[in-house]
Amino acid sequence: MASSFYLTTIAAAIGFFTLLRKLRVHQDNQEKKSSSSSPSSSSTSSLSLSSVTPPSSSSRNWTYHVFPSFRGEDVRRDFLSHIQMEFQRMGITSFVDNEIKRGESIAPELIRSIGESKIAVVLVSRNYASSKWCLNELVEIMKCREELGQTVMPIFHKVDPTDVKNLTGDFGKVFRRTCAGKTEQDIWRWRQALAEVATIAGYHSTNWDNEAAMIKKIATDISNILINSTPSSDFDGFVGMRAHLEKVESLLCLHSDEVRMVGIWGPPGIGKTTIARVVYNQLSNSFPLSVFMENIKATYSRPTGSDDYSAKLQLQQMFLSQITKQKDMEIPHLGVAQDRLKDKKVLVVLDGVNQSVQLDAMAKETWWFGPGSRIIITTQDQKLCKAHGINHIYQVDFPPDKEALQIFCMYAFGQKFPKTGFEELARKVTNLSGNLPLGLRIMGSYFRGMSKEEWKKSLPRLKTSLDADIQSILKFSYDALDDEDKDLFLHIACFFNQREIKIVEEHLAKKFVEVRQRLNVLAEKSLISFSFFGTIEMHSLLAKLGGEIVRKQSIHEPGQRQFLFNEEEICDVLIGDAAGSKSVIGIKFRYRIEEEFDLSERIFEGMSNLQFLRFICGRDTLQLPRGLNYLSRKIQLLDWKYFPMTCLPSIVNVEFLIELNLKHSKLETLWEGIKPLQNLRRMDLSYSVNLKELPDLSTATNLRKLILYGCSSLIRLPSCIGNATNLEDLYLTGCSFHNQKIILRFGKCFKLNQEARDLIIQTPSREAVLPGREVPAYFTHRATGGSLTIKFNERPLPRYMRFKACILLVNNGDYEAPDRDNKWLHISFGVRSRTSGETISPCLTEHLYTFEIEAIVASSELVFEFNVKYRNDWKIGECGLRSEVLHVVDGHE
């Protein structure tokens, strides 16, 4: 959405802060619970955005995280030393009293240290009460608990808390001996302290079988207390955020069990996403399931006239995948969301909603979600909320002049007020920025670090070139760039917004020197940001600014511009009287009309510098009945959804091709022969249902991603795919291969991620080779060496069984043989007297080889033997089997 750019970087930085968890800081210290009820202390959730004032203990400056009170002769050498070591490992600062001489009365420096510790750990052992020093320590600790809000955590080490409370058993005997000759006042104070500490829920060693686990749990809980009690940094740098959250909280009505939808509405750049992000980060830990669907209108928009049902299905699939954290979830119909979530308490933020279909797919009705659920929608369209029945809407207004100045100063000076001597200049710039938070941020970032003279020199141009129009404010920041950075800005605004940083760098590396450094410059000037997912994000207003700048390159002849992206103007260039020229380097054509029209075979003539081509259209809308007789040899990106031809024309030069995206195409084959593909990084042919085979990809050595989802007619993968040593992602789901068994060879493709490796293992294939150091768990029967036994318990026994086999080779020598001697191995395998064989290649260690086996089941036990034939330098290191679908009993399958 438009406001996602405003503070997108800051919103990402929120994740690095410890956000309010809505947890009261260990209410155990205020509750009188039986210590035997739980081995650990508890905390109580509080769903509240406005109760951000921390307890008094959180606002103090503590010297130590932990003050331990203990009887040294009982625990110093074992339990205490171990827990101190765990504290040190977890970065918890503990007070150490080795240099303090113990005596009858507690030392002043010890009293001071107790008061300067955030948490007091009282290690109550058998002889704890034998020490007057320990008892006086405990009295002081309980005093700090009451007066300073100090957290007290008792640990009952080999002693019953009931004996501590009632002063019974051996503990009571020890205490009474200590009391001999002491004043009634001292005895009363000690009794009170022991009774009080015994009622605090703590840790009881008899409840733990493993002392190491207990120590780790204690240290972890202390660490969590320290985190949760740290004063919140949510509002640092967010001027006026507290007021926003108080208003949102009143609409959320968090203590109600009703399911409530709340809208956050306002113009682009006003801060809607930032407010929603802070709300989400503060509340998400209090909900079993939560999701922040960011910038929906840019990511999940539906072209006008497209199929509503398909759009909803895709949206709901993405929504459920993210909220359940189940990657690549596939759903068959639209009833899944309400079925999965109707009894779940969820927190959902739908950010940047601009179409009703988005709400219908992800949050159509409140009864889709369990009691207490909250759904927050940010949008620029108030009518959209009303139409969906959302009556609780927070309108985000422009900040008043005082807050606007503070926002500007935060980015210009790093503080909420101007530096001395800059007061009047800061007010002038703030006024010229129109109080839009986005504009204030951009202008503040621009002026940051400038001298007073530089401010004065910039102001006249700012006054003349800018007015109240938001676009003009953004244009000022653009004008401050050098020519190279301006050009990069236009490339991102018109073509590469929300694209992966790495792929953008590859596309622009030859055009811009040190492209990553230049991207960083744009980020520093708040013109772009880098998302958590590794993409470049530019605010929609800035993207519109870039489009307007390009439009003015040639107002009346769009074919003379650098980029074409307006639908009507592209139609004029491609099928009208206008013509494209060598000025055009990129075309992004989103054709939303369902009307079909034919493209001329000469549409790209004259565009000799065309590098980036993206056609996003509906099925059968754009046709090339006479083919294509020209396409720039400089083409780097060819992205054409529903590409209408059965084969790429021979005139398409792929030498500089980096991305080839032809989803839902009519392709049957790409091209014949071998082509230079050294620059190719990504190929997406998903759902090209007529595609029967891939061309020779032996030169695609830098290919990183190959997507073949739903290519149901694909006959085989070329064996030379193994040359793609940089391959990271391979997607084959939905490739039936006409039920023919293919060969998959990925020798030395060590960069294959685990998902790709699992997919290769599970894909039906005659044989496959891929990197691996052990037989995976997918093979339900595994053994070291080449012998494996399978027993059958079912009756009657199946007559035939089909298995997928997996072996791991081991080289008997010190090194693998040279490639010329390493072409193949013959593997024999057999069940009892029946033997068969399989030839595998290449021969590699740290690789898995899979193939199929069929066996006759003559008894309830099958013994498989795998051996390497004709070679003494190789043997079987591991083997595995998994039964396949063939089960024949009495002649019937």
Catalytic positions, please?
Answer: 137
Please give the Cα distance from 60 to 53 (Å, whole number): 13
Query: Half-sphere exposure (CA, 13 Å, Cβ side) for 240?
Result: 21
Looking at residue 3, the DSSP 8-state letter turns out to be G
For 502, the 3-state DSSP assignment is helix
3-state secondary structure labels for all residues of 430-493: HHHCCCCHHHHHHHHHHHCCCCHHHHHHHHHHHHHHCCCCHHHHHHHHHHCCCHHHHHHHHHHH
Give the containing element (helix H, strand E) for 837: strand 834-840
Helix (H) or strand (E) holding 72: helix 72-75
Cα separation, 803 vs 781, whole angstroms: 10
The token pair that represents 442 in the structure block: 């951009």
Could you tell me whether strands 787-791 and 861-869 are parallel, antiparallel, or unpaired per DSSP bridges?
antiparallel
CA distance 723 to 745: 10
CA dist list (Å): 584 to 610, 662, 837 = 6, 22, 59
Cα-trace Rg, the chain = 35
- Residue 367 CB contacts under 8 Å (≥ 6 apart), including other chains: 259, 338, 342
Q: What phi, psi does 651 have (nearest 5°)?
A: -75, -10
Which element (helix H / strand E) includes 316? helix 308-323
Q: Give the tokens for residue 718.
A: 């070329």
Pairing of strands 874-888, 800-811: antiparallel
Q: Which helix (H) or strand (E) holds 117?
A: strand 117-124
For the chain, how many helices (H) and strands (E)? Answer: 28, 31
CA 547 remoteness from chain centre: 30
Distance of alpha carbon 104 from alpha carbon 461, whole angstroms: 78
- Separation of alpha carbons 176 and 156, rounded Å: 19
